[in-house]
Chains A and B, each alone.
Chain A
Amino acid sequence: MDLEGQGRIRQVIEQAGADGVVAVLGANSPTAVEMTALTLKSGDPSYAGPLTGIALGIPSYHVLEAEIADQFDPALYERELALSALAMDVAEVVAPLKTIREA
């Protein structure tokens, strides 16, 4: 996640609170997913951005994880996500998330 995005998210959470907040990600690499999920849970692991040292405790899910995607309108899923699901190695991309959520 870039530094500006971290700043915007920090601002949103300061205003709205983190209760009942979850993140839904769309990245296509396990590394990007992992870095974003770690940043939102326990602070920026690169110690560079506005979320350094700030543990928001927000759990992250990937938009193509079955437990998330199963809740979407099926027609919308077909139109917006089906192609990405074919192009992406979903199992590999979402693999870090469960570990991070449960750690």
Chain B
Amino acid sequence: MIDLKGKRVLVIGERDGVNGPAIEACVKSAGAQVLYAETLCFV
């Protein structure tokens, strides 16, 4: 099992799934550092 604490994270959210800001907030709550975050949009 991976421990997110101290990990550097690329956040790649999706508008129709889970968006980037929501993932970012959650991984930060687990002690990770966010290197990059985006929300993809497929239309």
Contact = CB atoms under 8 A, between A and B. Distances in A.
Interface residues of B, number: 33
A15 B12 CA distance: 18
Contact of B22 (A1, A22, A71, A81): A81
Interface in B7-43: 7-14, 16-20, 22-23, 25-27, 29-31, 35-36, 38-40, 42
Given A8-B36, A72-B30, A26 B25 contact: no
Contact of A77 (B3, B10, B14, B26): B26
B22 to A, nearest CB: 4
Contact of A20 (B6, B26, B38): B6
Contacts of A21: 7-10, 35
A102 interface: no
Contact of A26 (B4, B7, B12): B12
Interface in A42-70: 58-59, 61, 63-64, 67-69
Interface of B: 1-14, 16-20, 22-23, 25-27, 29-31, 35-36, 38-40, 42
